Chains A and B, each alone.
Chain A
């Protein structure tokens, strides 16, 4: 059973993410087109791209997000939020779950519960929070907490960061089981320019034992 799981990262290892950017001229804000591809030009799933402004901090988001649990899966598998976002962990299954995280960005646990806990959890520290269920080992999900409002999930290997204020940004990418982060790209965004950035996903990280189950959907 383990063996079949091991194949997944092997495939991932050869992924190459390519981001292509198109420069256009908006009125007051620029747009960054990001492309994430593996080495063979295939799309890297569940990648999160985000642009972190240099030299300045942007106001924390006062938002709320939801990490649902349904059919013994976390939905979504990858949730990107800005620091300061509160996340609710509703349990849509009729069985209990025990959600936990050992990630330094936000260690927590929600011991066996049903329904929606009364209070959402605040994610104020940037980092990747790996979620698990202590009852169901195969359940896993990632909450990518970034210090910028400019982030996007690059479904099908493409993401567009829109309404970006001019300035200097470090564009970064994260994807599940990432071993070494593709080199962040620093760009200057002026006016309503449209900037294209591309990443090639490198080797995947050490095999996550529960990865297969964590995906849940293909």
Chain B
């Protein structure tokens, strides 16, 4: 729109300039034409006046010559000299007819008319045109236009010589229409002549058309006879006439007026035609100029429009079609710049697109792109089949690697993992890094079996140790498989279920797991539980259960292990293995641990007030070992409760210690320094080295219940492990306890093997604090029966 208006403005401007120029030219032409016309007309009128004068003069001269020749006729002169009046008159009459004059008059040298051809009308009187006679006396002859009998006449006077002047002969010729016609013919002017005398009705001679002539007669009475020639304009009939009026007074007081006139309309006609031609030419020129302006404007605006269209294409994301302008001027340069900008934008957008859809570290597709491709594959699979499979995986113990070997190493490891993963898949499949140590693979699979094969192949990426710099490390990963349409109908669900499968794999310490239908609800419950856990603390939904730890020798309870329960309003009483991992994952474990410690110490203090002397044991999560403030927190609680530190025992699983043995050792040493008792929980499952164990400042070693639950005299393997562990513990100066004691037989065996303490359903299940108190009072293991 803007371009169109620019083009229009350009055209309008050009046209306006042209119109102004042409108008100026036309006006100045018109003005010049008018001035020229006026000049021409004035000139024509003056020339006409001279022509009239010349024609009259010539005629007078001619008449004069005629008369002179006549006056020289001897016989005529003789007749005049005779003095005989009748003779003279007849001679005059004869002469008149000879020269075709209208009147002939003989004048004596004294100015008296002696004879005439007018029937003696003038004879005996003074010649009326004395001034004419005077000129004749001075110059030898005279001629002039006079008013005679109310009409214009030319009178000529020549002397009658004998050979000296003996008389004057005067001939009068009426000015005829022919004279006027001659002037008109020569000059194209209209000529009018009339005489004005007092009282007389003037007789008009004119070349004007009848209507104008009548008009002139009507106007005559109001006109005075000018002394000098007057140039004026007259309206006669329908026409306007440029007029030159002249008047000459005659001896008898009358005037002969002459009008020379030019019809302005007619005079203007050639100019009008010229003007018309110029206007036509101007219009033509204007049209040509408009066409040129339009063309020019187009040549200016077309490339602009092309540029605008090009910019529009770029805006719509078309980075392929360049702007094609062959011009070498500024606009051409602009087009080139546009094209460069287009490719630069395209490159940048490609880069941004790549960055937006790819992981910066590994260069693999990121979560967004992965979901996108997964969606595409699912859409395609819906139509054409077969199945779409995806693998969710994360690197086992990546956090440890990262913490131990540094983030740079971790990054390099991730890059290498990505590279290896890519090598395990087909090009039509996708490997993506979803974040952290989490990778995903999308692939087409015919069925679950095929999917498992693919996963196995993917898993080979972790077969060889990773050698980075001078470090060689074995890395494992957990892979979870989910399939469309077997396990999910949409990408989100599919990913969620692959995730669940992965956790299953991790939990089962198997490398690969395929999603099992029904696991999903559990997953959702876990999620909501995570959300509800904090509320649970506030609402006092958590409760501590206590399980007695029995001294095998005295067969009396010495410790009580605090075990947390969640009295969930919907799900009922929940065991810690149902929500503690969630708390660990969601970072809420510290809250839970602190709540447990606080309430355990509170209970312990209460027992102490009731005369029951028990040490309470609390389980610590692996993550709690990273809370450096925890020792201070515990010491604070103990001193607040007025309890010695040895009344609290912290149980830490072997695997938790092994996650970061060095750090765990430090914080455990701190705990120990503060006098708190420490125990290794679930011993026998964490592959801890004896060297490690030796350095740990622990007091107690708890044999994992998996070795105790089925402990019979015939179960030799468990028997060997339990006995060895007891011996190991005792050798290291530790108290050894067995949990999972559920039968009389296992109790007896433990007693026989010299185990220091036992814990299990055989003695008591975990009980709420109130029930535990009752148990203490009633049980044979209780403090009451002593």
Contact = CB atoms under 8 A, between A and B. Distances in A.
A209 B169 CA distance: 14
Contacts of A206: 109, 137, 165
Interface string B169-197: 00000000000000000000000000000
A208 B165 contact: yes
Contacts of A139: 163
Interface residues of B, number: 19
A78 to B, nearest CB: 13
Contacts of B138: 6, 207
B139 A3 contact: yes
B163 A6 contact: no
Interface in B42-91: 72, 74, 77-78, 80-81
B278 interface: no
A211 B161 CA distance: 11
A122 interface: no
B140 A102 contact: no
Most buried by A among B72, B81, B141, B164: B164
A130 B77 CA distance: 14
B140 A5 contact: yes
Nearest to A140: B163
Contacts of A207: 137-140, 165
B165 A209 contact: yes
B74 A134 contact: yes
Contact of A132 (B80, B141, B159, B161): B161
Nearest to B159: A209
Contact of B164 (A5, A6, A211): A211
B139 A132 contact: no
A137 interface: yes
Contacts of A27: none
Interface string A81-109: 00000000000000000101111000100
Interface residues of A, number: 27
B162 interface: yes
Interface string A201-218: 000001111110010000
Contact of B139 (A2, A177, A210): A2
A103 B165 CA distance: 11
A100 B140 CA distance: 22
Contacts of A214: 163
A210 B163 contact: yes
A131 B163 CA distance: 7
A132 B159 CA distance: 15
B139 A6 contact: yes
Contacts of A132: 161-164
Contacts of B165: 206-209
Nearest to B141: A2
Contacts of B139: 2-3, 6, 207
B37 interface: no
B345 interface: no
Interface string B125-158: 0000000000001111100000000000000000
A125 to B, nearest CB: 16
A196 B109 CA distance: 34
Interface in A119-135: 130-134
Nearest to A98: B74
Nearest to A206: B137
Contacts of B356: none
B166 interface: yes
Nearest to B71: A209
A18 B568 CA distance: 180
A137 B72 contact: yes
B83 to A, nearest CB: 8
Interface string A134-170: 1001111000000000000000000000000000000
Most buried by B among A5, A98, A132, A139: A132
Contact of B140 (A107, A130, A137, A209): A209
Nearest to B166: A102
A151 B503 CA distance: 185
A102 B83 CA distance: 10
Nearest to B73: A134
A177 B140 CA distance: 14
Contacts of B164: 130, 132, 140, 177, 208-211
A103 B141 contact: no
Contact of A130 (B74, B141, B163): B163
Most buried by A among B72, B78, B140, B163: B163
Contacts of B77: 102
Contacts of A6: 138-140
A94 B77 CA distance: 27
A202 to B, nearest CB: 16
A102 B137 contact: no
Contacts of B163: 130-133, 137-140, 208-210, 214
A98 B138 CA distance: 29
Contacts of B137: 206-207
A53 to B, nearest CB: 29
A98 B75 CA distance: 13
A187 B77 CA distance: 41
Nearest to B109: A206
Contact of A102 (B72, B78, B141, B159): B78
A102 B166 CA distance: 9
Contacts of A103: 162
Nearest to A141: B163
B505 to A, nearest CB: 151
A107 B159 CA distance: 19
Interface in B245-290: none
Contacts of B141: 2
Contacts of B72: 137
A103 B164 CA distance: 10
Nearest to A102: B81
A23 B166 CA distance: 41
Interface string A1-42: 011011000000000000000000000000000000000000
A210 B161 contact: yes
Nearest to A135: B74
Contacts of B80: 102
Nearest to A142: B164
A102 B162 contact: yes
B72 to A, nearest CB: 6
B764 to A, nearest CB: 178
B42 to A, nearest CB: 32
B76 to A, nearest CB: 11
A102 B161 CA distance: 9
Contacts of B159: 209
Interface in B81-117: 81, 109
Nearest to A101: B162
A101 B164 CA distance: 10
Contacts of A100: 74
Given A102-B81, A209-B161, 6 more contacts: A2-B139, A98-B74, A130-B162, A132-B163, A207-B137, A209-B165
30 contacts: A2-B141, A3-B139, A5-B140, A6-B138, A102-B77, A102-B162, A102-B166, A107-B81, A130-B162, A132-B161, A132-B162, A132-B163, A132-B164, A134-B74, A137-B161, A138-B163, A139-B163, A140-B163, A140-B164, A177-B164, A206-B137, A206-B165, A207-B137, A207-B139, A208-B163, A209-B159, A209-B161, A209-B163, A209-B164, A211-B164
Top 7 A-B residue pairs of the complex, sorted by shortest distance between their CB atoms? A132-B163, A102-B81, A102-B162, A2-B140, A140-B163, A208-B164, A210-B163
